[in-house]
Amino acid sequence: MNKFVAAVVLAVSLLSAGMVFAQATSLQTPDEKLSYMLGMDIGSFLKEVPREIDFEIFIQGVQDTYKGEKTLLTEEEALKIKQDFVKEMQAEAIKKMNEAKDKNKKDGEAFLAENKKKKGVITTASGLQYEVLKKGTGASPKIDDTVKVHYAGTLIDGKEFDSSYKRGEPVTFPLNGVIPGWSEGLQLMKVGGKSRLVIPSNLAYGEQGAGQQIPPNSVLIFEVELLGIENPMPDLE
């Protein structure tokens, strides 16, 4: 048994016996830093558990299992509790997701209805709303073109989820490879122009959302500068 494992076992034993440790104010040794990191990981997990944790029993479970002593639950009982808990967590996650979907849908519809009334805002047949902030003088891209843009994206509450400006580098992408709101909105612009696109969720990431940054049924707002068209497709007309 190495020193670190021995220290963990000792700490668990002392905690189980009801002893109180002084709060550390700094971390000096590698073992102290590793110990604190493990505590942070466990704490982060437990923080998300929708139940009250009895830490004395929790520590007893760690101690009994580590030392190979007889546990208060059989492996079969522990597995059943784990499976039931996972189902409970999944049901809770689905409930929260559905609540978020409903709220975001209502909030998004209300935002679109108000934004539509603003001077200079044009609503297309698809529901996309756009406002020309600066008129361009160049060509307009076609769906098969690749464009170069600078942009900043926010949710309707103003939270920014992405920005090429902050990264300090514009982005190049094919118009037929992005969300429908971008594909349509960029074709309405001319090179050198800047527009504000307000994209309904069905033209963005829909009910699925996108990662942690874009919740389900989110209306997205982009300020986009069309810097150029890379190798534009020839006009066949």
pLDDT score, position 19: 47
Which residue in the list 205, 214, 221, 229 is annotated as catalytic?
A: 205
Exactly one of 31, 107, 162, 165 is catalytic; which is it? 162
The span from the CA of 23 to the CA of 215, in Å, is 38
Give all strands (DSSP E) within the chain, no chain letters: 121-123, 129-134, 146-155, 160-163, 171-174, 194-199, 220-230
For tokens 């497709």, name the residue: 233
Asked whether 170 and 164 are in contact (CB, 8 A), the reply is yes
Is residue 151 part of the annotated active site? The answer reads yes
What's the token pair of residue 220?
């997205």
- Side chain identity, residue 130: Y
* Mean pLDDT, the chain cut into blocks of 10 residues (237 residues total): 47 49 76 85 81 84 87 93 90 89 95 96 97 95 95 96 95 94 96 97 93 93 96 56
The catalytically annotated residue of 145, 221, 222, 229 is 222
Whether CATH 3.10.50.40 fits 107-230: yes
pLDDT at res. 233: 53
Concerning whether 179 is annotated as a catalytic residue, the answer is: yes
> CB–CB of 60/175 below 8 Å?
no
Instruction: Pick the catalytic residue from 31, 59, 107, 161.
Output: 161
DSSP string, 163-200: EHHHHTS-EEEEGGGS-HHHHHHHHT--TT-EEEEEE-
Identify the pLDDT of residue 55: 83
**Residues contacting 138, CB < 8 A, separation 6+:** 190, 191, 192, 193, 226, 228, 229
The question of whether 222 is a catalytic residue gets the answer yes
Residue owning tokens 């900043």: 152
36 is catalytic: no
* 230 beta partners: 146
Best CA proximity match to 164, nearest among 153, 175, 151: 151
Q: Where are the domains of the chain?
A: 3-67, 107-230
CB atoms within 10 A of CB 40: 10
| Active site annotation includes 235 | no
